[in-house]
């Protein structure tokens, strides 16, 4: 089990005495980042459903689930707003889901213990909605977009900002380097949703600013801090949903 860097622990957790117990790597990791593992399971289950309903093989592109639940502008315009969420849990192939889930596993185990599960879940879905907004804004309304990349880019951006904000410059530099590589791939490879990646990144950066503002006492008294941060991230999600519904 890879330990979480002390500086990345949530402020509430860092004030508590740590109780050390023995356990397996998988169970310990799941206990430290439960939402991360739930999200991975949900994405994996959706991909298995795609394969089961598709034309065979390890690709979901032939599955009717892509057409029925993938993010597509004309369908959202017809009232199928649920695609803003469901599109983020579908993937086009084994490499697609493998890359996204690996990134979610790494970033989730770093971020979730560092900011707490409620903030992590709010950050993930705010980034997902922001990614959907970006995808619809920059994609042909007849084209289908799928994948958790928008949410993952949001986690990348948030992890970078929070690490910098907590003075973890080495971790921030590593995250920044990886983020630049992924942005280069976003613009350099055809078929990648530029809008989805940039939208999710923007959402994650803004959410991270709310989290840091709370840590620095700018979101009110201690007991109001978490609700205020969650309200700020909810505002990002609402803005993204409203924007997505107005660009189609």
Q: Active-site residue numbers?
A: 149, 197
Cα pseudo-dihedral 110, 88, 154, 247, rounded to 10: -170
Under a CB-based contact definition with an 8 Å cutoff, are residues 51 and 60 in contact? yes
Cα pseudo-dihedral 169, 174, 180, 181, rounded to 10: 170
Q: Is 192 exposed, middle or buried (0-12, 13-18, 19+ CB in 10 A)?
A: middle
> What ranges in the chain are assigned the alpha helix state H?
11-14, 25-32, 34-53, 64-69, 73-77, 83-86, 94-115, 117-138, 149-165, 169-188, 194-215, 222-247
CB under 8 Å to 214, separation ≥6 — which residues?
Answer: 225, 226, 228, 229
**Nearest in space to 119 (alpha carbons), one of 219, 6, 242, 19:** 219
CA atoms within a 13 Å half-sphere pointing along the CA-CB vector of 27? 4
Cα pseudo-dihedral 82, 241, 139, 92, rounded to 10: -40
């Amino acid at each position: 089990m890879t330990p979480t860097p002390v500086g990345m622990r949530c402020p509430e957790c860092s004030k508590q005495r740590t109780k050390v117990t023995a356990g397996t790597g998988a169970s310990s990791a799941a206990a430290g980042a439960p939402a991360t593992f739930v999200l991975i399971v949900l994405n994996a289950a959706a991909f298995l459903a795609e394969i089961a309903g598709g034309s065979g093989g390890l690709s979901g592109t032939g599955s009717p689930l892509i057409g029925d639940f993938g993010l597509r502008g004309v369908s959202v315009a017809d009232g199928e707003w649920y695609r803003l969420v469901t599109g983020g849990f579908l993937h086009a192939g084994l490499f697609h889901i493998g890359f996204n889930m690996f990134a979610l596993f790494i970033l989730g185990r770093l971020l979730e213990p560092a900011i707490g599960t409620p903030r992590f879940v709010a950050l993930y879905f705010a980034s997902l909605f922001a990614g959907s907004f970006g995808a619809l804004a920059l994609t042909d309304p007849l084209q289908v977009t799928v994948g958790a990349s928008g949410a993952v880019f949001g986690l990348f951006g948030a992890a970078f900002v929070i690490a910098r904000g907590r003075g973890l410059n080495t971790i921030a530099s590593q995250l920044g380097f990886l983020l630049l590589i992924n942005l280069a791939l976003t613009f350099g490879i055809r078929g990648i949703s530029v809008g989805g990646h940039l939208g999710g990144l923007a959402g994650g950066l803004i959410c991270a600013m709310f989290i840091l503002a709370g840590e620095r006492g700018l979101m009110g008294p201690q007991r109001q801090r978490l609700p205020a941060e969650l309200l700020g991230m909810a505002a990002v999600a609402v803005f993204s949903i409203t924007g997505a519904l107005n660009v189609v």
